[in-house]
Amino acid sequence: MIAQLQTPKLNLTHSLPYTVEGLVQVFTGPHRCFFTSVMAQALRIAGQGAPVLAVQFLKGGINQGHQHPVRLGQNLDWVRCDLPRCIDKADLDELETRSIAQLWEYVQNAVLSGSYALVILDELSLAVNLGLIPEAEVLALIESKPHDLDIILTGPSMPTAILDVADQVTEIRRS
């Protein structure tokens, strides 16, 4: 059993002399192997008291959906698509396509709400490359995100336009 600690909110009487800009980070490479290292970062940030949203677009099999997020600790919401299987090809039926579209709409609303300090969009590049999420909408979301929000995008073969707007790109490779 893990004890959960309540993190007190700081009531600062003064503002910081600078603003902290959120980063757009990309983790990419030839294989689907990024989630462990990204999740470690999410757990660290959530453990410091900041709210985190981790979204897996193409992982299914547990009938979770955005209506039933898993809460890890007090500050980490983990959402998977409401699919009966994991997606690796563009051969989706109408229900699966609708489920991914609903999750994408949920993500856009969550990002724009400013409720999170970090949002992770796992395997986003695959969803874009399979034509499930429009690249233009991803770029628009990045452009309109709250200034202090960090976003991590993962997946192999990340589109060049997304790489171009990223503040940091990490290419993971096997050696």
- Dump pLDDT digits (tens) for 34-72: 667 888 889 899 998 999 999 988 876 566 666 556 666
Distance CA 51, CA 172 (A): 26
Q: Is 21 helix (H, G, I), strand (E, B) or coil?
A: coil
- Mean pLDDT score of the chain, rounded to an integer? 84
Question: Which pLDDT score, from 0 to 100, does residue 69 have?
Answer: 61
pLDDT beneath 70, residues of the chain: 1-19, 32-35, 60-72
Say if strands 70-72 and 150-154 run parallel, antiparallel, or are unpaired: unpaired
Give the global pTM: 0.82
**CB neighbours of residue 102 within 10 Å:** 15
Provide the CB-side half-sphere exposure for 15 (13 A, CA). 4
Give which of 159, 145, 47 is closest to 39, Cα–Cα.
Answer: 47
